[in-house]
Structure 1
Amino acid sequence: MAQESSQTSTFIESLLKLTRFGNLVIIGFAQYFTARFLIGPHTFTDIRLFILSVSTVMIAAAGYIINDYYDVKIDYINKPERVVIGKHITRRYAILFHVVLSSLGIVLALLLSWRLVAVNVFSVFLLWWYSNSLKRLPFVGNLTVAMLTGLSIYVVDLLYGTHSALVIIYALFAFFMTLVREIIKDMEDLKGDNTFGCKTLPIVLGMRKTKMIIYGILAVFSATVLVLNQLYAALPFQYYTVFLFLPLLWLFYRLLRADMKKDFSWLSAFCKIIMLLGISSMAFV
């Protein structure tokens, strides 16, 4: 009995690790904050928002599983301590979980609207395509993940049909920050990606040119936020200084000096902190 209990516990821990449980919590957190603070307090207890959040989280979890399924060999080089498939969960079970979670995410969307069903079907297909081939192409894979992250914010507005400028601004924030983080992760994973023939930006262009691209993305992002704010939202500039521009300046400075795997790992984690700061700032809007 003790051995069975231990095996079950290990299996559950491995499944949570495989599906990036912490990231799933952030997705749900972001959607609830978007609805509560950018659309209206009445949304917080709306069962439709709960269904939307659960379906989004399921599809994201399925995406993490299929990504690790295709990346086992690369991950043994880049992050051997994080490999789950083949160690604690078989490849057959991984595919089963992927199919079940993806299907449930689509079925739940049927309770909301056909537009959200279309979004979820599109997301499932894109996540599979990304894991299978797109992530091995320069910039295309990064763009795919960034778009899906921004979409996870925008679908809240799609559910309620408010056409909120603030939701669009935050969806763009999620898009740009994820795009930067994905490129930085490619810089961190250069060795394994190069070994298995991936054509990511750092491999194709080199580190220096890849950094220049990130600087350009950060500049475009900052300008876009300021323009949209001026045209539609008109929030105080101090708001952006504290929650966005100061963290971005620190990111810029650390990226300028980064040249080792541990540096890029730190930058990737810091991008996630900026994302959390951005989500939290919704409460002050």
Structure 2
Amino acid sequence: MNVSARPKVTLRDFVAGSVRLVRMTNLVIVAMTQYFTRILLIGPRHNWKQIIADPNMFFLSLSTVCIAAAGYIINDYFDIKIDIVNKPERVVVGRYLKRRWAMGAHQVLNVLGAALGLLVSPWVFLVNVFSITLLWFYSERFKRKAFIGNFIVSLLTGFSLLILTVYYPENRHLVFIYAVFSFFISLIREVVKDMEDIKGDEAHGCRTLPIVWGIRRTKTFLYVVLFLFVVTLFFMGGVLENRTLIWLFLLLLVPIGFLVFKLSKSDTRKEFKEISNLCKIIMLLGLMTMLWA
């Protein structure tokens, strides 16, 4: 596929491509997760209408969404050649959207995200600028490095919850636990995605864990991460003496155990894709436990 020879693009193609480029579904999930965290963990729950109407919460969440969208754009901008091999049907930049337009949209969204953060708090602004900087270096350089790229994405996933505590300090300990949960499951999924995309990554000189270590050793690494994931969750639940959380985490051992089983049996791109989707389901189930936390 030659992205330089763009087909005639209709308005419908442009809109559909733009929605796919910024991962609209993921952005909606980010916003909903932040609002659920604000209502269910920070609270008070009975004031949910006031929380939804809170302009500072709206600006904070919108700033996160803008920065995440900008991150998706710049990631695809730098990954065109790799995506042609791994996901040719999903290439947008250079096909439906000119590269300079993509870069312009990236810059506008970042400025908007930083400005909205400043409306909420100088500290939120600083966290947003830090996130913008990390996303740029991740896409431009670190994504192709073993582990560090995975770590950055996972760290920013946890930040999307922790940033709420910068302006809303209540129940920080609970928010921190769910941020750690998000970090670990995101880290596992990012490494699995590297196993899924090993063909295109290797063809373009990337040095991801599956390429450097091989699939077998990368699986061993994931088993260690999964063990640390479970131990950390129960340790934090025990420190807080929160029996409800401990029981909820016990229930999550069922899908986590299934993930370990699937991982041990998987060797193909299709199977790794299934594990990646299973990580999404575990993330969703984990966030649903906020209802009882």
Structure-2-length-normalised TM-score: 0.93
Matches of 2:12 and 2:197, distance apart in 1 = 30
1:253 equivalent among 251, 258, 261: 261
* Residue in structure 1 matched with residue 3 of structure 2 by the alignment: none
What code does the residue aligned with 2:118 have? L
How do 1:148-159 and structure 2 match up within 5 A?
A: 148-159=156-167
Instruction: Give the corresponding residue for 2:22.
Output: 19
Structure 1 unaligned residues grouped into runs of 5+: 1-5
Residue among 219, 239, 242 paired with 2:248: 239
Deviations 1:149-208, CA, capped at 9 Å, x for gaps: 000011112221225211000000000000000000000000000001100000000001
Q: 1:201 aligns with which of 196, 204, 209?
A: 209
Q: Which position in structure 2 is the counterpart of 1:3?
A: none
Q: Tell whether the 8 Å contact from 1:30 to 1:279 is kept in structure 2 after alignment.
A: yes
Q: Distance in 1 between matches of 2:20 and 2:125?
A: 27
CA distance in 2, matches of 1:123, 1:241: 33
- For 1:27, the aligned partner's letter is V
1:68 aligns with 2:71: no
Amino acid in structure 1 at the alignment position of 2:178:
Y
Which has the larger displacement, 227-236 or 77-86? Answer: 227-236
Q: For residue 131 of structure 2, what is the aligned residue in structure 1?
A: 123
**165-174 or 230-239: bigger deviation:** 230-239
Give the superposition deviation at 1:143: 0.2
Give the distance between the partners of 2:289 and 2:247, measured in 1 at CA: 12
Q: How does 1:266-281 map to 2 (within 5 A)?
A: 266-281=274-289
Whether the 8 Å CA contact 1:35–1:44 is kept in 2: the answer is no
The match for 2:225 among 199, 209, 217 is 217
Helix, strand or coil at the partner of 1:110? helix
C-alpha distance in 2, partners of 1:142/1:279? 21
SS in 1 for 2:207: coil
Query: What is the CA deviation profile of residues 33-64 of structure 1, one whole-angstrom value per residue up to 9, with x for unaligned ones?
Result: 10000011333332211111110000000000
The TM-score with structure 1 as length reference comes to: 0.95
Alpha-carbon shift at residue 283 of structure 1 (Å): 1.3
Identical amino acids, percent of aligned pairs: 46
Kindly indicate whether the alpha-carbon contact (under 8 Å) linking 1:154 and 1:167 is maintained by their aligned counterparts in 2.
yes
The Cα shift of 1:13 comes to 1.1
Quick one: distance in 2 between partners of 1:92 and 1:164?
41
Q: Is the 8 A contact 2:162 2:175 kept in 1?
A: yes
- The equivalent of 1:174 in structure 2 is 182
Tell me, yes or no, if the aligned pair for 2:193 and 2:276 is still in contact at 8 Å.
Answer: yes
Matches of 2:53 and 2:217, distance apart in 1: 47
Query: Are positions 1:8 and 2:11 aligned together?
Result: yes
Instruction: Confirm or deny: 8 A CA contact 2:42 2:171 kept in the other structure.
Output: no
Deviates more, 1:41-50 or 1:167-176: 41-50
Q: Give, as a single letter, the amino acid of the residue that structure 2 aligns with 1:172.
A: V
